[in-house]
Amino acid sequence: MATTLRQRPAPLLLTPTAEARIAELMAKAPEGAIGVKLSTPRRGCSGLAYSVDYVTEAKPMDERIDTPGGVLFVDGGSILYLIGSTMNWVEDDFTAGFVFNNPNAKGACGCGESFTV
What pLDDT digit, counting tens, does each position of 17-69 carry? 999 999 999 999 999 999 999 988 876 565 778 889 999 999 999 999 999 88
Q: How many CB atoms lie within 10 A of CB 9?
A: 9
Report the run of H or E that residue 57 belongs to, with start and end.
Answer: none
User: What is the pTM assigned to this prediction?
Assistant: 0.81
Q: How many CB atoms lie within 10 A of CB 34?
A: 16
What gap in Å lies between CA 11 and CA 62, rounded to an integer?
Answer: 11
Q: Which residues touch 89 (CB under 8 Å, ≥6 apart)? A: 15, 17, 18, 20, 21, 96, 97, 98, 99
pLDDT digits (tens, 9 = 90+) for 80-111: 888 889 999 999 888 888 888 888 776 665 55
